Structure 1
């Protein structure tokens, strides 16, 4: 009888653990679905375009990527109004955007995937970028894939999606002695970097501070040491890559390592 009761008790404990585990898994799946738009959660916004037909005018934006084409983001990008840009936190994030409900939309209301690389500042485009409006100032090549260029302004719907990148995360090391300014680009997954830590071969891990856009700074002496990085994106995922830069790295160089 004692053995039978013990077995029943163990079965009850195992069952409770199973349901608890399932609850945690379902909760995490719900968070992921909501974050990436898997629940169909489209938001309403408006879109214009800038930068010319070759998108060259979209380079050197507020995210700090410089030449966004060589940084891995290509021509299909967007600037965001202040509420969406969130002080640079959203740099590198990806959105699915579809033209919606305007005569200027191409047939079938097509959608595209764009990367946030710039800020559309208040006062731009006739006030469409003024808070609290949610606005996408698309590169001209991006806009032309969903709407007629002469129209210039359309209503859209948008949602966050996962970023698919070619190659590894890129680390461009700028600054000078005792001021290391590292640009993080070509980030997959959520795309937008929430935190960065750096480690020299002779130091422990140090949390970097956001300087602007996706430029992160650390004020320590790391010359002559190989550098490792730990990158965490807004969805809480982390990639740690050791010895990204060799001990003889120089300011101005770019290195690659790891990916989501």
Structure 2
């Protein structure tokens, strides 16, 4: 019995050692939890109605209610949107130095792009023109920090951790030879920098950034259960979600898992 226990212990040791080597070669890190940033100055406006339609547009989240983000969302100016890497990031905002301010603060998720309006001066209508830092909030979110009559108000803001109550979500588009995946409900930094997919018949395949919060792989993945490996843009934490989608996965479906970022 002693020799059997000894053999099992050695096997376990080498298995753990192999995992550590794989994790290191895959770019794993052991960062701490994402910490709030320093406060900065910006401005905020509002857009849309209370339906949530279109507010997940440039990030690909679709209806922000059905995708799990709710009403507390904002379209980000170019500098914050950061070519889509700002999608899913969380910001705490409070109105400042305006007669229209109301007390308190709100945390919003970046779900859309507030595009530049070069026909308007950056200080008179072209609020989202680079290099301005601007939040075009949902109407209901805006009214939690200011009165609607203001139209535009100065705010102070900071990046904060995204607190998500469930695991990552993956919305599939494409087909068996081209997989496009929108990543949603990301915790911690809220964002994604790199992503890999693995089928039951493949190794890890690097996915390229398409646009917003979507990543694509040009590979034959139909008929295989799929796993994903994801790295946060903000703090470089990496997580693996095994067997997210079954072998009979379909485009148009959303699949979840029980892992998330800190």
Deviation string for 1:173-219 (max 9, x for gaps)?
11123110011001111101111110001100011111110111000
CA distance in 2, matches of 1:91, 1:142: 17
Are 1:47 and 2:44 an aligned pair? yes
- Structure 2 unaligned residues grouped into runs of 5+: 1-30
Q: Who wins on radius of gyration, i.e. which is larger?
A: 1
Deviation string for 1:138-180 (max 9, x for gaps)?
0001000000011111000111000011211101111123110
Tell me if the contact between 2:175 and 2:222 (Cα under 8 Å) persists in the aligned partners: no
Question: How does 1:155-234 map onto structure 2 within 5 Å?
Answer: 155-234=154-233
How far 1:57 sits from its partner (Å)? Answer: 4.5
CA, structure 1 residues 171+214, in 2 after alignment: closer, same or farther (shift >3 Å)? same
Stretch deviating more after TM superposition (139-148 or 244-253): 244-253
Q: Which residue of 2 aligns with 1:250?
A: 250
Alignment match of 1:122 (pick from 116, 123, 140):
116
Tell me if the contact between 1:198 and 1:207 (Cα under 8 Å) persists in the aligned partners: yes
Tell me if the contact between 2:192 and 2:231 (Cα under 8 Å) persists in the aligned partners: yes
Question: How does 1:100-119 map onto structure 2 within 5 Å?
Answer: 100-106=96-102, 108=103, 110-119=104-113
Greater fraction of residues in helix: 1
Aligned residues: CA RMSD: 1.6
CA, structure 1 residues 127+42, in 2 after alignment: closer, same or farther (shift >3 Å)? same
Q: Which residue of 2 aligns with 1:259?
A: 260
CA distance in 2, matches of 1:204, 1:227: 11
TM-score (norm 1): 0.83
- Structure 1 unaligned residues grouped into runs of 5+: 1-27
How far 1:56 sits from its partner (Å)? Answer: 2.8
CA distance in 1, matches of 2:51, 2:139: 6
Stretch deviating more after TM superposition (245-254 or 89-98): 245-254
CA distance in 1, matches of 2:34, 2:169: 25
Tell me if the contact between 2:34 and 2:189 (Cα under 8 Å) persists in the aligned partners: no
